[in-house]
Chains A and B, each alone.
Chain A
């Protein structure tokens, strides 16, 4: 059988299995395994163990379970309430202040806990009821809660950056640092959208009166701000140690977990024995599911490499003589459509091996491409049918319907897309900070 035919058969099987609801690790495992067997026979399959073991036993990948655990601890610690209250008190006199405070709190929460649905489930519930109580338009409130949760994937520490770095062979430390400015940019664009929307419609977002603001200010605000020393210290410890270059992402993840335990047990006193065991159980389960997808991806990548699919695909794209901007835009549209159906971690592991040779052949920086890819996935978590953040908000809150959540969140897809275009046009936003690293 010709190599082209084998590629067509394997990729068709992958797509059919994906669409029919087969576990993703299996889709890639079967498609890759069958492709290797058809091309190299049984001898090709006999070396799978070496490939899988070698790919999984990497110290950089150890950062993944550790950051997942750190996120779980932070999620259960109660920090989210303080973060939200602090920003709320600072911003409540600004038009749409509570919604903007939710964006800021979600962004900072994202720097502590790289799980997008965690911010929606923790900050979102508090912020949504507060906004509705104060007469905010339910659509505005739902959107302001749902969309900023996605920032956690771009603002480091991000699990998706670890997976992308591992598959693409790019420095995870540099990817983390590259995500900071784009994360701030997207948070800023979301705030700007809220501000413009509130000013234009002049309804739907009540502002505090001077009396309310006065009664809520003073020592209570200062106390809450003082309590924020712990999350600020944790962010500084984790990101600072990576940026300065004194710790690898895996080492900083271990520091982060110990710091998160300190915050949850000592500062907030919110973790008991049972919730401690819960954090371990949830983290181990999430790690297990993601690493199994990684195993499937390793088998599929092995198949792609044996048949030199990525190189052929890159040559094909180059032969089209399309401008780099159009090529990049086409890739982003493809990722956007795929992201509507496949979760972010799986999407990275399926598409990176195929797209990376195109990135390299076009002389694009793989760190920049990683930032664009993860920004794109931010849209995926807020678009149906697989938008995890949408379902999370619908599950944790009875105050808004799914229709309201969808209508409220849709404009943020355009906001993130605008951010994506800016990041595509100005790669320096992503590459400036990593360029300063030692």
Chain B
């Protein structure tokens, strides 16, 4: 369990760091849109990059918080019925949900990885004046989904150990 704890702790530090980066991404996103508004309406000279970059930053915000939110159990859910279930049932459900999260993140990881590699291989560029190499924004999703997958595996291992404890307590 020592290695597992060390790996978990290291991963949580990484997720937390990405979470902090996301906070600053939000601030920079605000400033970019504001800067573009000023240039557009005051100087009649909008940037060619603000709109596109802000869209990519939104994708970053949407995905890179996912693992940290999962680690802190903050994803939105309807827990009215869940809260009345016995602890043992809740542990089983948690394990199922974490398996589901792992499956969903794996699905998005697989499909986004394929697309990112294709964009890289064919030098795909965005259809705009900025001509961003598309593999850069596309790579946000596989990276974030990899983190969510790892967090789901951590959660699943913890669920299984909780279930073992409950089983032990039940048999005593």
Residues of B within 8 A of A52 (CB): 108, 112, 141
B26 nearest CB across to chain A (Å): 5
Residues of A within 8 A of B80 (CB): 341, 385-386
Interface membership of A285, Cβ < 8 A? yes
Partner of A291, one of B61, B82, B104, B137: B61
Please state if B78 and A66 are interface contacts (CB–CB under 8 Å).
no
Residues of B within 8 A of A58 (CB): 55, 58
Interface-forming stretch among B1-9, B68-76, B161-169?
Answer: B68-76
Residues of B within 8 A of A56 (CB): 58-59, 62
Please state if A255 and B34 are interface contacts (CB–CB under 8 Å).
yes
Interface-forming stretch among A25-33, A85-93, A316-324, A358-366?
Answer: A25-33
Interface membership of B13, Cβ < 8 A? no
Interface membership of A342, Cβ < 8 A? yes
**Contact count band on B:** 35 or more
Please state if B82 and A66 are interface contacts (CB–CB under 8 Å).
no
Residues of A within 8 A of B83 (CB): 21
Please state if B29 and A25 are interface contacts (CB–CB under 8 Å).
no
Please state if B55 and A57 are interface contacts (CB–CB under 8 Å).
yes
Please state if B101 and A23 are interface contacts (CB–CB under 8 Å).
yes
Given known contacts A66-B33, A292-B69, A20 and B93 CB-to-CB distance under 8 angstroms: yes
**Taking CB as reference atom, which chain A residue is nearest B54?**
A62
Please state if A292 and B23 are interface contacts (CB–CB under 8 Å).
no
List which B1-48 residues lie within 8 A (CB) of chain A.
Answer: 19, 22-27, 29-30, 33-34, 36-37, 40-41
Residues of B within 8 A of A46 (CB): 110-111, 114
List which B129-159 residues lie within 8 A (CB) of chain A.
Answer: 137-138, 141
Interface membership of A409, Cβ < 8 A? no
**Taking CB as reference atom, which chain B residue is nearest A246?**
B41
**Taking CB as reference atom, which chain A residue is nearest B62?**
A291
A272 nearest CB across to chain B (Å): 16
A343 CA / B104 CA spacing, docked (Å): 22
Mask, B64-105, CB within 8 Å of A = 1, is 111011000011111111110100001001000100110110
Mask, A274-302, CB within 8 Å of B = 1, is 00010011011101111111110000000
List which A220-263 residues lie within 8 A (CB) of chain B.
Answer: 246-247, 250-251, 253-255, 257-258
Residues of B within 8 A of A106 (CB): none
A247 CA / B78 CA spacing, docked (Å): 37
Interface membership of B125, Cβ < 8 A? no
Give chain A's interface secondary structure class. helix
Chain A residues within 8 Å of chain B by Cβ, number: 61
Please state if B37 and A254 are interface contacts (CB–CB under 8 Å).
yes
Please state if A20 and B81 are interface contacts (CB–CB under 8 Å).
yes
B150 nearest CB across to chain A (Å): 16
**Taking CB as reference atom, which chain A residue is nearest B112?**
A49
Mask, A331-364, CB within 8 Å of B = 1, is 0000000000111011000000000000000000
A315 CA / B169 CA spacing, docked (Å): 55
Please state if A45 and B107 are interface contacts (CB–CB under 8 Å).
yes
A271 nearest CB across to chain B (Å): 13
A27 CA / B142 CA spacing, docked (Å): 20
Residues of A within 8 A of B27 (CB): 280
Please state if B107 and A33 are interface contacts (CB–CB under 8 Å).
yes
Given known contacts A247-B41, A253-B33, A284-B19, A49 and B74 CB-to-CB distance under 8 angstroms: no
Given known contacts A24-B75, A25-B75, A49 and B111 CB-to-CB distance under 8 angstroms: yes
B16 nearest CB across to chain A (Å): 11
Chain B interface (Cβ within 8 Å of chain A)?
19, 22-27, 29-30, 33-34, 36-37, 40-41, 51, 54-59, 61-66, 68-69, 74-83, 85, 90, 93, 97, 100-101, 103-104, 107-108, 110-112, 114-115, 137-138, 141
Known contacts A24-B76, A292-B63, then 18 further A-B pairs from the complex at CB < 8 Å, ordered by chain A residue: A23-B77, A23-B97, A26-B100, A26-B101, A48-B108, A49-B108, A56-B59, A57-B55, A62-B55, A250-B33, A251-B40, A281-B23, A284-B22, A288-B62, A291-B61, A291-B65, A292-B62, A292-B65
A-B contact pairs, 29 of them (CB 8 A): A21-B78, A24-B76, A24-B77, A26-B75, A26-B100, A26-B101, A26-B104, A30-B103, A33-B107, A45-B107, A49-B114, A50-B115, A56-B59, A59-B54, A69-B26, A250-B33, A254-B34, A254-B37, A287-B26, A288-B65, A291-B58, A291-B62, A292-B65, A292-B75, A294-B62, A295-B62, A343-B78, A346-B76, A386-B80
